[in-house]
Amino acid sequence: MKNTARSIAFETLGRVYKDGAYTNIALQHALTDRGLSPRDKGLCTEIVYGTVRRQITIDALLQLYVKRKLKDLDQDVLTILRMSVYQLAFLERVPAYAAIDEAVELTKRHARAASGFVNGVLRSYVRESASTEEKIEAFLAKKRASEVLSLGVRHGFPNWMVQRLISAYGRERAEMILSACNEPAPLTVRTNLLKTSRESLKAALADAVQLEVRDGELSSQALVIPGAVNVEALEAYRAGQFTIQDEGAMLIAPLLTPLPGSTVLDMCAAPGGKTTHIAELMRDEGTIDAYDVYLQKVKMIQEQATRLGLKSVTARLGDGRDFANKEAAYDAVLVDAPCSGLGVMRRRPDIRHRRKQSDIAQLTSLQRDLLQAALRAVRPGGIVVYATCTLLPEENEQVVEWVQKNTSDAFVVEDIHELVPEVFRQDVCQGLTITPERALTDGFYMTRLRKR
């Protein structure tokens, strides 16, 4: 069987489901040097991301046609059924016969005895004339589903995540957030103003990718490239003229208001997007110590700094919590804390399956320790920016409040109205939480503290 979009999608999903691989990384490896056309690469990507993103919904649909419990099925068989139902339920341009025929061929190759079963389930699925929405409703009615389960099945999220978002944002906004997390994320890049201007880069990128590149709306450095493009292969990328970064993430480094000549600590720096942004804002004049606990990620930070031509960044191996015992007296510290990642599920759909509710308490403890260490590391009068890519108050405002209460009010939370785009100013309160439905960015929390 030759490599096809569906066979490579099956291979990739196998790595995600059986080996615990990250979806984006597994797909990137799977598509390298496989000879697929751009169209087939697009189909493979859609099937992989869509299947992971909609897995909970797909499983509900499958349970209408499979008498056994899904967890009792062979993993390869379940993967083939999931990716096939995704195509039948959510991809209007894919002919049913194409999805079913290739599903049967994949089953013959990987679980031959189950080929008749797979064929029967999928043909039963398409024989049913009801729409996907009607089938979902039939499942929910059969389960007498609660509001939380209904939202989770419709949008493909675990119940605990739905419940937490409803508690934080209310039912209506929670559903808008869940829906936005299922939308494909645009490709955005940050212009390195030390090497080029946004206008010059826009023209160069438009010429290179033959697409209409547009300005971002939240950052004066942002450009948006429509369509799937391997920008890392472009000359402008190799020349260090831009960094791939979500536009929401571009709002965090400016909160430090770093000046040329400053000394800055980035406590959790990998992969280096915000570190290099700080360096660019400082005109590469000063010192930035960029720490991470993994050597491979430390190398990644240094490689990015080198590609961008930045000399002020020094990537270091170490745990940010160690600064709790030091008086480092940095002018500014960024704590881009490890978190549950609920704000970046557009780009990393497996987070909804990988992350557990029990993780939150452990993460919160780590976040408190890091923020306390940051306050130790910064000089009196210096700035600490605390940021995450999650939407849960427990990891955001409540971490800041806890640390403030337990450090004898060692800092004040500063008003950042004037430091964020106008569209978000009405949302500022003890910091800013950007949710994905607000401006079609990833979700982030950010706040700025000044040490007394």
What is the chain's pLDDT, residue by residue, as a tens digit (452 residues)? 578 999 999 999 999 999 999 998 999 888 887 888 888 988 999 999 999 999 999 999 999 999 999 999 999 999 999 999 999 999 988 999 999 999 999 999 999 999 999 999 999 999 998 999 999 999 999 999 999 999 999 999 999 999 999 999 999 999 999 999 999 888 999 999 999 999 999 999 999 988 899 999 999 999 999 877 788 889 999 999 999 999 999 999 999 999 999 999 999 999 999 999 999 999 999 999 999 999 999 999 999 999 999 999 999 999 999 887 777 789 999 999 999 999 999 999 999 999 999 999 999 999 999 999 999 999 999 999 999 999 999 999 999 999 999 988 789 999 999 999 999 999 999 899 999 999 889 999 999 999 99
Residue 286, strand partner residues: 262
Indicate the DSSP class of residue 210.
Answer: T
Q: 273 among the known binding-site residues?
A: yes
Q: Is 389 part of the annotated catalytic residue set? A: yes
Q: 174 among the known binding-site residues?
A: no
Closest CA relative to residue 282, chosen from 222, 332, 243, 316: 332
Query: Under 8 Å CB-to-CB from 119, ≥6 apart: which residues?
Result: 100, 103, 104, 107
User: Which pair of structure tokens corresponds to residue 376?
Assistant: 């130790």
Radius of gyration of the chain (CA): 24
b/e per residue 43-72 (b: at least 16 CB within 10 A) = bbbbbbbbbbbbbbbbbbbbebbbeeeeee
Global pTM reads 0.93
Give the DSSP letter string of 126-143.
Answer: HHS-S-HHHHHHHHHHHH
HSE value, Cβ hemisphere, 13 Å, CA-based, for 57:
27
Choosing from 44, 181, 389, 429, the catalytic residue is: 389
Closest CA relative to residue 271, chosen from 344, 202, 206, 369: 344
Q: What's the rounded Cα separation, in Å, for the pair 130 and 382?
A: 62
Q: 272 among the known binding-site residues?
A: yes
Q: What's the rounded Cα separation, in Å, for the pair 167 and 158?
A: 15
Q: 319 among the known binding-site residues?
A: yes
